[in-house]
Amino acid sequence: MALGLTTFAGAASTDEIVVYSARNEQLIKPLFDAYTADTGTRIKFITDKEGPLLERLKAEGVNTPADILITVDAGNLWFAAKEGVLAMVNSKVLKSNIPAHLRDPENRWFGLSVRARTIVYSSKRVKPADLSTYESLGDSKWKGRLCLRTSKKVYNQSLVAMMIARLGESKTESIVKSWVANLATDVFPDDTKLMEAIAAGQCDVGVVNTYYYGRLMKKQPQADLALFWPNQADRGVHVNVSGAGVTTHAKHREAAVKFLEWLSSEKAQNLFADENMEYPANPKVKPHAGVAAWGKFKGDTINVSKTGSLQAKAVMLMDRAGYK
Ligand code: FE
């Protein structure tokens, strides 16, 4: 974060790449070190939230030192591409390593790890047989028993965008309204607080990203929480990605593409996914045993770029439905 632009000035050698990352240092530094050890290519980076990073890329324009942008959620990757800061990359390696639905149809960004946004429930008060789909969380039996995170978070905007893609706008709106009617309490600022509320008995079911569940269970293995994979008889669980793209004005484009290809490889995928308890995006790579223990599921195979193209519709729909 403290690296100024001057640090990069004149750094034109091809054995160096500059990364702007919305993932924190603890998650990316081990990867960068492994790549440098493997190839000799040095990696400089800054970390920040996705908003400021994108603003910085736009402001720097052709003068940006950044070769690669790493961020989370396809909604954010889609937006970065729309803002023109990501370049098309035609790579056979990336196309073969990353399934088509986990990357930009125009090849400007590529999913590198997968997270499911799924149902979490109290294993004390709910039986898995009581659960089935995201839609059914609007059933009257969940009245006063549902907890949700704020609709301001891109993860929920992406979830609702995918429902619009699959079910249409009016059906999705009535589902979201039925969720709001079932809320036990105000929406939560983050997934962890939501799960703590379930563990504390404030509500019985909710929707969270899998890795937050993993983090909480690591800290509190006794918590009476379990994951449920919804919509297994139809479209599957909503999956999203963290991913990356090469910048439009990359000074080390070739080296940056090579690095992305390496990130998608069998060698690097566990390094990318495991530290945050995510699933590898490359289907040839198995998830970490601790993640695999949550069970197998069918994920939705609709292209994750829809989270971006339908995001504005999703935001307006959630507002109309009274989802705060
Ligand atoms: Fe997250």
Mean pLDDT of 221-229: 97
Whether residues 232 and 215 fall in one domain: yes
Range of the domain at 164: 115-238+306-320
In a domain, 223, yes or no: yes
Average the pLDDT over each of 2-16, 39-53, 84-98, 298-312 and give the range with the smallest value: 2-16
For residue 13, the model assigns a pLDDT of 47
Confidence of residue 240 (pLDDT cuts 50, 70, 90): very high
* Residue 11 clears pLDDT 50, i.e. is over it: no
Centre of ligand 1 to C-alpha 211, Å, is 8
For residue 15, the model assigns a pLDDT of 87
In a domain, 296, yes or no: no
Whether residues 128 and 203 fall in one domain: yes
Nearest to 24 by CA among 10, 45, 3, 4: 45
Whether residues 10 and 78 fall in one domain: yes
Centre of ligand 1 to C-alpha 169, Å, is 26
Centre of ligand 1 to C-alpha 210, Å, is 9
Mean pLDDT of 196-218: 98
Whether residues 227 and 244 fall in one domain: no
For residue 18, the model assigns a pLDDT of 98
For residue 5, the model assigns a pLDDT of 44
* Residue 236 clears pLDDT 60, i.e. is over it: yes
The CATH number of the domain where 180 resides is what?
3.40.190.10
- Burial annotation 19-35 (CB, 10 A radius, 16+ → b, else e): bbbbbeeebbeebbeeb
In a domain, 21, yes or no: yes
Whether residues 254 and 123 fall in one domain: no
* Residue 292 clears pLDDT 90, i.e. is over it: yes
* Residue 12 clears pLDDT 50, i.e. is over it: no
Centre of ligand 1 to C-alpha 18, Å, is 23
Centre of ligand 1 to C-alpha 9, Å, is 33
For residue 14, the model assigns a pLDDT of 55
Neighbouring CB atoms inside 10 A of 291's CB total 18
In a domain, 295, yes or no: no
Centre of ligand 1 to C-alpha 158, Å, is 13
Centre of ligand 1 to C-alpha 14, Å, is 33
Centre of ligand 1 to C-alpha 287, Å, is 18
Centre of ligand 1 to C-alpha 191, Å, is 8
Centre of ligand 1 to C-alpha 91, Å, is 28
For residue 2, the model assigns a pLDDT of 45
* Residue 3 clears pLDDT 70, i.e. is over it: no
Residue that is written with structure tokens 């439009």 in the block: 248
Q: How many whole angstroms separate alpha carbon 279 and alpha carbon 292? A: 9
Whether residues 91 and 69 fall in one domain: yes
Alpha carbon distances (Å) from 113 to 124, 181, 240, 321: 31, 34, 8, 31
Centre of ligand 1 to C-alpha 236, Å, is 21
For residue 4, the model assigns a pLDDT of 46
What is the full DSSP assignment across 134-182?
SGGGGSGGGTTTEE-B-TTSHHHHHHHHHHHHHH-HHHHHHHHHHHHHH
In a domain, 301, yes or no: no
In a domain, 294, yes or no: no
In a domain, 48, yes or no: yes
User: Radius of gyration over alpha carbons of the chain, in Å?
Assistant: 20
Q: How many whole angstroms separate alpha carbon 255 and alpha carbon 293? A: 36
Strand pairing category for 110-122 and 279-280:
antiparallel
Mean pLDDT of 162-187: 98
For residue 1, the model assigns a pLDDT of 46
Confidence of residue 9 (pLDDT cuts 50, 70, 90): very low
What is the distance, to the nearest Å, from the Cα of residue 206 to the centroid of all Cα atoms in its chain?
Answer: 18
Whether residues 105 and 93 fall in one domain: yes
Centre of ligand 1 to C-alpha 154, Å, is 10
Mean pLDDT of 11-18: 70
Whether residues 86 and 67 fall in one domain: yes
**Domains identified in the chain, total number:** 2
The pLDDT tens digits for 55-108 are 999 999 999 999 999 999 999 999 999 999 999 999 999 999 999 999 999 999
Whether residues 104 and 217 fall in one domain: no
Question: Running DSSP on this structure, what letter comes out for residue 300?
Answer: P
Mean pLDDT computed over every residue of the chain:
95
Residue that is written with structure tokens 């920040």 in the block: 48
Whether residues 162 and 274 fall in one domain: no
In a domain, 161, yes or no: yes
Mean pLDDT of 209-224: 97
- How many alpha carbons lie under 13 Å from residue 66 in its C-beta half-sphere? 30
**Position 321, amino acid:** A
Whether residues 121 and 223 fall in one domain: yes
Whether residues 140 and 109 fall in one domain: no
Mean pLDDT of 126-150: 98
Residues 6+ apart with CB under 8 A from 262: 35, 38, 39, 268
